[in-house]
Amino acid sequence: MLSIRKAVAAILLAVPVNAREITFPPVAAIDARGGQVPLFGQGAPIDISGSAYQGLTTFANLPYVHCLSAEKNVDSFDIAFLGAPFDTGVTARPGARFGPTGIRWGSRRLDKDMGDSIYTGQNPLADWAKVVDCGDAPLTFLDNTIALKQLDKAHEVISSRTTNSSDYTVPRIITLGGDHTTTLSALRSTFHHWGPVSVLHFDSHIDTWDPAVLGGGISHYAGVNHGTFLHLAHEEGLIRNTSSHAGIRAPVKYSSDVKNDKRCGFDIVTARDMDKLGVTGVIEKLKAHVKGTRVYVSVDIDVLDPAFAPATGTAEPGGWSTRELLTVLDGLEGIEIVGGDVGWFLLFARSTCSS
Ligand SMILES: *[C@@H]1O[C@H](CO)[C@@H](O)[C@H](O)[C@H]1NC(C)=O
Ligand SMILES: *[C@@H]1O[C@H](CO)[C@@H](O)[C@H](O)[C@H]1NC(C)=O
């Protein structure tokens, strides 16, 4: 009894004079890069060089490169993230102009020093490609025609930069949307470098609507929107007839819209095909469809069920789970993907479904 009391007294005497100065025992071998600043031993120097929550926010803490600089030479890269803060081509809830910012916020815990996949052991941020964040394209919110021209130009400038790898000469771009109209600029850019591509389009909507139908034929300006861009891409000759949608479930005018969709070169894998075919079957079907062609992958986050992604512009019930989508995307390994995008995030929205 007495000895315990003595021991407690000795510990109390050992606390610092200033009782508010909390001290931690020295902890060795905590790597600052994993996202935590290390705890310090008494008297140890304070290291502020490594937290994932420091500095300006880039996607997954990747290095920022001023890719749109007027300078002829900037740091070389192989894959660039590019924000497209644009949402004035929508038919329902706007707000996706804040999507790129939201994606970057959400990715702050990602870091290439601890980025190995538990499934494959591979680290996509530290593989063959030097991956960077180019920030956002400057897009006006007052004129869609001008905004798309600005985005076309951003793709042109970035895809003309020098690659770090000697195996490829054209850097690839992953666009962070933005409403889906922004994919049109990306497809114009891939066409310029690689010719027509197959599009693997993950979405609950077909997005090949005839501009005369979606937009009401009011004007050519109104016809360029987030539900017609794949129709326009077909008309401009940017895409192949080996394209496919995946996760489709939103209502259509069956006789005319689906016929037009086929005419634009698309096959349809519905949301419920996941129940019939399973993830492996869906992956096999998509891969077989685009076999031997170059592919552009476009992910509208509303392919997910609103239970997983309620903050989107035109949510539709009955969608895929996040795990199913990620497994399908991982399963695409082996096809030649020359560009991609993910978009339609609203930063501020509650869950509501349109149907
Ligand atoms: C960039 O290229 C250099 C020289 O070929 C190479 O050593 C380096 O690993 C590459 N960087 C990345 C991030 O791949
Ligand atoms: C796709 O286009 C090619 C020519 O580019 C044509 O030979 C083929 O029949 C078309 N396939 C479909 C399903 O329309």
Count of structural domains within the chain: 1
From atom 12 of ligand 1, which residue's Cα is the shortest distance away? 130
Residue 149 lies in a domain: yes
Angle at 339 between CA 335 and CA 340, to 5 degrees: 100
- Secondary structure class of 226 (helix, strand, coil): coil
Residue 23 lies in a domain: no
Residue 10 lies in a domain: no
| Strand runs labelled E in the chain | 79-84, 131-136, 172-177, 198-202, 243-248, 266-270, 294-300, 336-343
Mean pLDDT over the full length of the chain? 89
Confidence of residue 53 (pLDDT cuts 50, 70, 90): confident
Quick check: 302 and 271 in contact, CB under 8 A?
no
Q: Is residue 164 lining ligand 1, measured as CB closer than 6 Å?
A: yes
Statement: residue 132 has pLDDT above 60: yes
Q: What confidence tens digit (pLDDT) does each residue in 143-189 have?
A: 999 999 999 999 999 999 999 999 999 999 999 999 999 999 999 99
Residue 277 lies in a domain: yes
Q: Could you tell me which residues are beta bridge partners of residue 202? A: 246, 299
Ligand 2 center–CA 260 separation, angstroms: 15
Residue 181 lies in a domain: yes
Residue 198 lies in a domain: yes
Q: Residues of the chain with pLDDT > 90: what percent? A: 76
User: Ligand 1: which of 130, 133, 166 to mutate, judged by most atoms within 8 Å of the beta carbon?
Assistant: 130
Statement: residue 93 has pLDDT above 60: yes
pLDDT for 230: 98
From atom 11 of ligand 1, which residue's Cα is the shortest distance away? 130
State pTM to two decimals: 0.87
Domain residue limits at 287: 59-343
Ligand 1 center–CA 292 separation, angstroms: 29
From atom 3 of ligand 1, which residue's Cα is the shortest distance away? 164
Q: Is residue 76 lining ligand 1, measured as CB closer than 6 Å?
A: no
Residue 275 lies in a domain: yes
Residue 51 lies in a domain: no
Ligand 1 center–CA 121 separation, angstroms: 20
From atom 4 of ligand 1, which residue's Cα is the shortest distance away? 164
Q: What confidence tens digit (pLDDT) does each residue in 75-88 have?
A: 999 999 999 999 99
pLDDT for 217: 82
CATH of the domain at 248: 3.40.800.10
